[in-house]
Amino acid sequence: MNMKKLLTLGAGLALLPVIGFAQEAAEVAEVAEDIADVAPSFDEIGPYIMTTLLFLVGGFLVFWMAAGFTMLEAGLVRSKNVTTQLTKNIALFSIAGIMYWLVGFNLMYPGDFNGYIGGFFNITILEAVGLGADEADLEYASVASDFFFQLMFVAATASIVSGALAERIKLWPFLVFVVILTGFMYPISGSWLWGEGWLDEMGFSDFAGSTVVHSVGGWAALAGAIVLGPRLGKYKDGRVNPMPGSNLALATLGTFILWLGWFGFNGGSQLAAGTVGDITDVGRIFANTNMAASAGAVTALILTQLIYKKVDLTMVLNGALAGLVAITAEPLYPTLFGALWIGAIGGVIVVFAVPMLDKFKIDDVVGAIPVHLFAGIWGTIAVVFYNPDVSLMVQLTGIAAYGVFTFVVALVFWYILKMTMGIRVSAESETTGLDMSELGMEAYPEFSKG
């Protein structure tokens, strides 16, 4: 064999791996092309993925609000009742998780229904493990993420009731009421708007729940406070006797935690994150939410100085929360100045509503009724100033509907519980403190033994 043939053979042998790789590359490209023909593009699955992620991130921020409510209440009750508040809050959150799965979620989002009430005990079922893109409903988000996000709202509603009725209510009757509220009352009324019910058809607008969540908790708390009566010694000889909380540091921490969680509460309620416009709107919602809280706090700070000649920290904390509640009905459309004055009026409401309730001898330990009910009503009305598609008469109709339904049903159930189980601890137990009488343990045992 001559040199030319040897060189040709050698070159051929050297090219064999290259030829093999080229064939494999061609086969891989062909397979990839086949996959591309059947698999959804990112344009198709991107909105689903991003909205699902928004619900998950928003959901765990709202979950953190449970800690905020717990710390706020623990700080604003007297030390002899702190453990009871801690117990109530972890118990109510856990009960809400079970009831919303068993009844609430599909009662609140029933699909086709008469617009007033859906079917009962339609248990929530999540997607299969390892769901493929071709099997998912890409129009919205995963059921699991939606359920998780919405669950956090119902738990927040129950927490509102817990604080208002603190220091004199029995543990177990309260938890029975939580079952009713989270499993039935809140989901039924919530379906009227967010489940595409009759109020939604009318054009009622409540972006993240000033009325659907906060006023519902406030109405239920007001009914409970009326049936339960005030704490011993709160109103005596025509005077209001202050009962200072045990730990204002905890109460302040709780407020900041709630403030943080509210970004998930309002931001997640955009319900979409799949486009540039969606995610930009989430940022706008965050900014407006923060502005309203700031304005509520500063307004309460200034007003208490002017009225009482000293700043009242508890009013400042509730002023921030009232600002948050007020902007919750419409955190997207207002300008930053709009969010400022809406939140500021929330702060005004708190400063004047707390003493007003005392005049009626309605004892609200943490100020939940002014914050969540009165500021919630204000925020729902304020929607008309920035959303031209919303009618004031429709907003007032929605406010009245939620008020009548929640207050009346709650009042009935509180009276039933009073007549059957009894809802109030004995005078001796209240004087001793619910921690020892109801639970047999104290939050601060070292201090109590002084």
Q: Is residue 2 part of a domain?
A: no
Integer Rg of the chain from CA? 28
416 falls within a domain? yes
User: What pLDDT sits at residue 136?
Assistant: 72
**299 assigned to some structural domain:** yes
The answer to the question of residue 38 being in a domain is no
**CATH number reported for the structural domain that contains residue 363 in this entry:** 1.10.3430.10
Q: Distance between CA atoms of 249 and 434, rounded to whole angstroms?
A: 22
Would you say residue 16 lies in a domain?
no
What pLDDT was estimated at residue 30? 58
Q: Which residues, at least 6 apart from 17, have a Cβ–Cβ distance to it below 8 Å? A: none
**pTM above 0.95?**
no
pLDDT at 23 (0 to 100): 60
Contact 103, 119 (CB under 8 A): no
Q: What DSSP string runs through 214-238?
A: IIHHHHHHHHHHHHH-PPTTSEETT
The CB density around residue 341, as the number of other CB atoms within 10 Å, is 18
Structure confidence at residue 172 (pLDDT)? 98
| Dihedral sign for Cα atoms in the order 271, 254, 345, 407 | positive
Is residue 256 within 8 Å of residue 201, measured between CB atoms? no
Instruction: Work out how many domains the chain is built from and give that number.
Output: 1
Q: What is the pLDDT of residue 22?
A: 52
Which 3 state secondary structure label does DSSP give 239? strand
**CA atoms of 220 and 243, how far apart (whole Å):** 23
pLDDT of residue 28: 47
Structure-token match 């948050």, residue found: 324
Q: How far is CA 176 from CA 185, 300, 356, 406, in A?
A: 13, 35, 30, 16
Non-local CB neighbours of 356 within 8 Å, separated by 6+ positions: none
The answer to whether the beta carbons of residues 378 and 326 sit under 8 Å apart is: yes
Domain, as residue range, for 430: 43-127+135-233+244-448
d(CA 364, CA 227): 12
Per-residue pLDDT of the chain (450 residues; tens, 9 = 90+): 555 555 455 545 555 455 555 565 555 455 445 544 555 676 778 888 999 999 999 999 999 999 999 999 999 999 999 999 999 999 999 999 999 999 999 999 999 899 999 998 889 999 889 877 767 777 889 999 999 999 999 999 999 999 999 999 999 999 999 999 999 999 999 999 999 999 999 999 999 999 999 999 999 999 999 999 999 999 998 899 999 999 999 999 999 999 999 999 999 999 999 899 999 999 999 999 999 999 999 999 999 999 999 999 999 999 999 999 999 999 999 999 999 999 999 999 999 999 999 999 999 999 999 999 999 999 999 999 999 999 999 999 999 999 999 999 999 999 999 999 999 999 999 999 999 999 999 999 876 554
* 21, 27, 33, 391, 414 from 30: Cα distances, Å: 14, 5, 5, 58, 69
The answer as to whether 418 is a domain residue is yes
Q: Specify if 319 maps to a domain.
A: yes
Q: What is the pLDDT of residue 12?
A: 53
Helix residue spans in 360-435 (DSSP H): 368, 375-382, 392-420, 427-432, 434
Task: Please check whether residue 14 lies inside any domain of the structure.
Answer: no
Integer Cα distance of 105 and 64 in angstroms: 20
DSSP structure class, residue 112? S
